[in-house]
């Protein structure tokens, strides 16, 4: 596990964005942990979150010309990431979309910089992959090229089949998916911490039942 991933887990747990217990997922599973990026809900938290994304993007070495944040959670994310990247010496344009097209003023669905070149989609997680699919379509319609997706957490668990939603996106669109942390990082973080022994055991059981097969 990288230092960045460890620091992000410290941060997410301290902010109570990452909680442990019993939580029902959209798939009806009882998960021993829950991640709610919407609770990064003040200026300092959003600033730090943007810095973690920026670090992950820069460390990846991925060639990026612009950022795209799908409405709604992607809007504050893409803004904070653009600011953090600029502070790190990488000034990139960013764009986001409206859920409904505006019929006055500048009009249209898109707000911000014109989409051009290689565009990185940013979101909190990938669940069903719907947001990514819609984003890919909008980017391509604008004449730009989707080059990847950056998320905060990869749960590394099966979707409807044997692949995870992240793996399906990577396969269907031939896009790399960058994540600040994944389930392996969480397990590594909890290992050796006596206070998290029961939590770790619950997560291991959940992973045995629903985790993807790693190749």
The pLDDT, as a whole number, for residue 129 is 78
User: Where residue 14 sits, what CATH number does that domain have?
Assistant: 3.40.50.2020
The pLDDT, as a whole number, for residue 205 is 96
Q: Is residue 58 included in any domain, yes or no?
A: yes
The pLDDT, as a whole number, for residue 89 is 98
Q: Is residue 94 included in any domain, yes or no?
A: yes
Region for residue 126 given its phi and psi (left: phi exceeds 0; alpha: psi -120 to 50; beta: otherwise): beta
* Predicted model pTM: 0.93
Q: Confirm whether 102 is a catalytic residue.
A: yes
Q: Is the pLDDT of residue 158 over 50?
A: yes
Question: In 3-state terms, what secondary structure has residue 36?
Answer: coil
Higher pLDDT, 87 or 129: 87
Torsion sign, CA atoms 139, 140, 145, 148? positive
Considering the candidates 16, 102, 109, 158, report the single residue annotated as catalytic. 102
Q: Is residue 59 included in any domain, yes or no?
A: yes
**DSSP output for 150-210:** EEEEE--BB-SSSSBHHHHHHHHH---EEEEEEHHHHHHHHTT-GGGHHHHHHHHHHHHHH
Q: Is residue 66 included in any domain, yes or no?
A: yes
How do residues 3-13 score in pLDDT, each as one tens digit?
999 999 999 99
Q: Judge residue 58's burial from the number of C-beta atoms within 10 Å of its C-beta, 0-12 exposed, 13-18 middle, 19 or more buried.
A: middle
pLDDT band at 194 (very low <50, low <70, confident <90, very high): very high
The pLDDT, as a whole number, for residue 104 is 46
If one counts the domains in the chain, the total is: 1
Q: Is residue 187 included in any domain, yes or no?
A: yes
Q: Is residue 45 included in any domain, yes or no?
A: yes
Q: Confirm whether 47 is a catalytic residue.
A: no
Q: Is residue 87 included in any domain, yes or no?
A: yes
Considering the candidates 16, 26, 99, 104, report the single residue annotated as catalytic. 104
Helical (H) or strand (E) element with 53: helix 43-60
Residue 126 vs residues 21, 107, 129: alpha-carbon distances, Å: 21, 29, 5
Q: Is residue 215 included in any domain, yes or no?
A: no
Q: Is the pLDDT of residue 105 over 50?
A: no
Q: Which domain holds residue 51?
A: 3-210
Averaged pLDDT for residues 133-150:
96
Q: Is the pLDDT of residue 122 over 60?
A: yes
């Amino acid at each position: 596990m990288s230092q960045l991933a460890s620091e992000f887990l410290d941060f997410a747990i301290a902010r109570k964005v990452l909680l442990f217990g019993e939580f029902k997922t959209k798939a009806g599973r009882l998960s021993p942990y829950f991640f709610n990026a919407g609770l990064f809900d003040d200026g300092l938290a959003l600033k730090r979150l943007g810095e973690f994304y920026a670090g992950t993007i820069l460390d990846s070495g991925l060639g990026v010309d612009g950022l795209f944040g799908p409405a709604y959670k992607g809007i504050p994310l893409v803004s904070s990431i653009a600011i953090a990247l600029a502070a790190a010496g990488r000034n990139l344009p960013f764009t986001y979309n409206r859920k409904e097209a505006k019929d006055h003023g500048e009009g249209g669905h898109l707000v911000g910089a014109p989409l051009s070149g290689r565009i990185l989609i940013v979101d909190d997680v990938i669940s069903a992959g719907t947001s990514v699919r819609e984003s890919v379509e909008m980017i391509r319609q604008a004449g730009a090229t989707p080059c990847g997706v950056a998320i905060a957490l990869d749960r590394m668990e099966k979707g409807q089949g044997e692949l995870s939603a992240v793996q399906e996106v990577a396969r269907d669109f031939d896009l790399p998916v960058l994540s600040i942390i994944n389930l392996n990082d969480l397990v590594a973080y909890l290992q050796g911490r006596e206070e998290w022994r029961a939590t770790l055991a619950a997560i291991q059981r959940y992973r045995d039942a629903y985790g993807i097969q790693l190749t």
